[in-house]
Structure 1
């Protein structure tokens, strides 16, 4: 089973740690596109700060993020699960997982990154600012770059297991599973139900996905089909509705009434 997560917009910058080592990251086939993104991003942020901020979509009060991007190659690194913060990662709380669940997380969880393409939770990365919908000068949209490279890395990480796709729409555009993988793809949508109405609410969505991942890692089972995953989640106390199978996989709706 491979659980594919989005990154967080917010990140905790390591105060100390070794500098970035691209050869130490998972999926060595991604070294070239990682280098391309790093080169384009650091060059942008080493130039005019206001211009870089406009490209990256950061406000005037966040120019420190631009400065940090300019030094990504020499910046301290830490485990990805300590760098990525925010609602989903707070709910996952990887540091407090049981030893067995932490071992499962090392092999069952990966994050789609606009800078690194794909990282494991134990991969050491610096804090960066680059949203998935940004187009970098001289390189173009980062989503387009990764679409040309991520397929081999993700399918290698997936093996013969089930893909549990929890990515947001922005990062889902980096790589879409081909039709031949559809029977082994479950996309999870979280719906908040209130007063008889259901809708996607960002906070509920992220928090619930973090808790789902945590529950699956602690439980330890590795379902091989979307229907089997739905059964596991129901056993763990979630309300799950299974959609029809299609060429992109099967959608599971997890319905919650409170965060």
Structure 2
């Protein structure tokens, strides 16, 4: 059994100004996506300014979609009690699925403006996402969020305010799978030209499988509990369409043209 490291959620405190680790992790994810996108910008024939515009659109999609998605799927009661809670992002509470929809909307708008095929753009974006996902899970861990179910595995941790029972560090599992493993697979897979939609489909499939699996050891959201069959969580319910959609997209992409890149391998 391990003890939780008890990291202060506030990274920097200067008088009334407080900078939370959770927010810094999002900043790390956005900066990483920006840097990686610049490395591969010529694949889509994008200028540096266009890449920065794309990242700005995606950042807005993540923040607005993520927060609205969390309020819709997990926090309607809190929102009803205090509408201003919606803006307290530093306290945690972002939905991946909401942010995912927000990024899709941002990609659709950008693709139309740049006259790009939608899946050509999402294939470009997909390998940029996992570092942000991984950084966000580290933020969850520091914020005491997403504790796992009680367990006796050697690496189980006793979380603050969660009683004496050791639990799975489920946010670290998600960091490893959704962050490290997913990034490594997608970045390697997308080095060579692929058919339009293949990389996007692989992202949907792998993320869906990773998230669905970890939910079995992650404590269900207290305000929701299990929502179907006595074992299915909201995260699993929202992830199922991603798994199915990923499989369909991979099959569909077999009949699409290969996206010949405009630059050498990144």
Normalising by the residue count of structure 1, what TM-score does the alignment of the two structures yield?
A: 0.31
- Greater relative contact order structure (CA < 8 Å, 6+ sep): 1
Greater fraction of residues in helix: 2
Greater fraction of residues in strand: 1
